[in-house]
Homo-oligomer: A and B are copies of this chain.
Amino acid sequence: MHVTGIVAEYNPFHNGHLYQLTYCKKQIGSDFVIAVMSGHFTQRGLPSIADKFTRTQMALHSGIDLVLELPVPFATASAERFSEAAVSLLHKTGCTHTLSFGSEVGNLELLQTIASTLSKETPLFSQTLKHALQQGESFPRARQKALIHSLTALGFSPCTLEKILESPNNILGIEYLRALTKWESSIIPTTLKREIADYHQTVITAPIASATAIRQALLASDHTSISSCMPPSSFFFLPKEPTALPQWDDLGSLLQYKLMLSQKEDLYSIWDVPKDLMHSIYNTFSQTIDLETILTAVTSKTYTRATVQRAFLRLLLDIKKIDMLSLETHDWIPYIRVLGCRKTAFPLLKKLTQKASVPIITNLSKVKHTLSPEAQKLLTYEIRATQLYYYLCKKPSFYFQDYTQPFIKV
């Protein structure tokens, strides 16, 4: 039984994702494909365009065999933490052989070289990094500079490197490779070149479009274009009304209230938000109630829009450093939650139950109380994220869906 793992947001599941799935089955020869999927919020800190249970339906009906949930603190973390947790999860399944990921460059060897340069942190690398940070560069940009400097010394072309490191899927790919090394995993990585759609593309022009372009078309109710780049099995489940989409702006009032409730010291206990960024959010909230205005005011050369959005979300979910530190000592992942499984993949689910090194959750309300305190805390964040998501969708009757929704079988 050969099993391949994919890390994805499926926001929504489109033809590009189907292409990757087909590649895993046909070219790699996988019997089963597992997706480690983000829940209700994306890596950019934004609510996804369909709830996680609907996106699980999309994936399963399109041929994904098993959907596992990437817990919300990691799903909305920077590339490094996101990848570490996703790879740790696949590693802990105990039954994943291959990790498939898309990258703009499509060259595994090159990505491996970059990954190991980053992990080694040579003196040249460290010096350049330090210097760039002192110049006020953001951490990702400073690291990129240090990397280019180090690799140029090894004979690579700075121009090519710059292009590689500006592409988000290359960056994630590098982080997956680093994480595989970190967790000493036997999972074999393989990368697939993203041929057609650019991540930043905002218009649908081909049968394979970016998720960003699809989301734009959804807002414009351009269903014809969307249906041209999604498998019908996935398109069927997509909410078609713009009013059904979560309203990100509604987070503004909650953020105001959260800041009112907090002393500055409480704010500094939030996980993975730099102190000066938090300071700047706190100082801005008494200037305006409008979320977009706060976001624009706080975004800077050092802290990108995505970083600020993630900080907002972490604040709102009240994700505490102390809880995350205690998870870190368990390689981040204290349980594996099954969101859905194809009936034909029940043998895989059975194997997962036998081989996994952490508890498997298929029915949350049944097992929550049996889990470790760390795991229960992590689940609390997950349940809170679900409630926040449905608040943004104006659907309070779904607040407790994490408890009431059995794992999806198709």
Residue ranges of A at the interface with B (Cβ–Cβ < 8 Å): 250, 253-254, 256-258, 260-261, 263, 285-289, 316, 318, 380, 384, 387-388, 391, 394, 396-397, 399-400
Contacts and interface: CB of A to CB of B under 8 A. Distances in A.
Nearest to A260: B387
Contact of A253 (B253, B261, B318, B399): B253
Contacts of A316: 257
Nearest to A383: B260
Contacts of A250: 253
A358 to B, nearest CB: 24
Contacts of A394: 289
A366 to B, nearest CB: 19
Contacts of A388: 257, 260
Given A287-B397, A396-B289, A391 B260 contact: yes
A260 B256 CA distance: 15
A286 B256 contact: no
Interface of A is mostly: helix
Most buried by B among A286, A287, A316, A400: A286
Contacts of A396: 256, 285-289
A76 to B, nearest CB: 16
Contacts of A391: 253, 256-257, 260, 289
A353 to B, nearest CB: 29
A400 B283 CA distance: 11
Most buried by B among A261, A318, A394: A261
A24 B34 CA distance: 80
Contacts of A287: 396-397
Nearest to A284: B396
Contacts of A288: 396
A213 B316 CA distance: 40
A257 B260 contact: no
A213 B318 CA distance: 43
A399 B257 CA distance: 11
Nearest to A390: B286
Contacts of A289: 391, 394, 396
Contacts of A254: 253-254, 257
Contacts of A257: 254, 257-258, 316, 388, 391
A288 B396 CA distance: 6
Contacts of A318: 261
A47 to B, nearest CB: 14
11 contacts: A253-B391, A254-B254, A256-B391, A256-B396, A260-B384, A260-B391, A285-B396, A286-B399, A286-B400, A287-B396, A289-B396
Contact of A397 (B286, B380, B397): B286
Nearest to A253: B253
Nearest to A317: B261
A396 B396 CA distance: 28
A225 to B, nearest CB: 33
